Amino acid sequence: MGVRFEPEPENHLAVITIDRPEARNAVNAEVAQGIEEAVDAIEADDRIWVGILTGVPPVFSAGGDLKEIGKGRVKTLHTKRGGFAGFVRRERRKPFIAAVDGYALAGGTELALACDLVVASRGSTFGIPEVKRAVVAGAGGLFRLGRRIPFAVAMEWALTGDAYPAERAAELGLVNELAESGKALEAARALAARITVNAPVAVQLSRQLMIEATHLVDEDEAWERNRAVVRAAGETEDFAEGMKAFVEKRDPVWSGR
The residues near 161 (Cβ < 8 Å, ≥ 6 apart) are 127, 128, 129, 130, 131, 132
pLDDT score at 216: 54
Half-sphere exposure for 195 (CA within 13 Å, toward CB)? 27
Q: Which amino acid is at 200?
A: P
Q: Which helix (H) or strand (E) is 232 found in, with range?
A: helix 219-234
pLDDT score at 217: 56
* Contact by Cβ (8 Å): 121, 167: no
pLDDT score at 133: 85
CA 28 to CA 20: how far, in whole Å? 9
Looking at the annotation, which residues are catalytic?
A: 110, 130
What DSSP letter does each residue of 37-48 carry, written as one string?
HHHHHHHH-TT-
pLDDT score at 71: 81
pLDDT score at 163: 97
CA-angle at 115, arms to 113 and 117, nearest 5°: 95
Please state whether beta strands 13-19 and 2-8 pair in parallel, antiparallel, or not at all (unpaired).
antiparallel
pLDDT score at 116: 97
Assigned superfamily of 2-202: 2-enoyl-CoA Hydratase; Chain A, domain 1 (3.90.226.10)
* C-alpha closest to that of 134 among 44, 245, 26, 22: 245
CA 158 to CA 130: how far, in whole Å? 8
CB atoms < 10 A from the CB of 179, how many? 24
pLDDT score at 69: 78
pLDDT score at 87: 98
pLDDT score at 14: 98
Q: What is the pLDDT of residues 184-201, one digit of tens each?
A: 999 999 999 999 989 888
Q: Which helix (H) or strand (E) is 52 found in, with range?
A: strand 50-55
Low-confidence ranges of the chain (pLDDT < 50): none
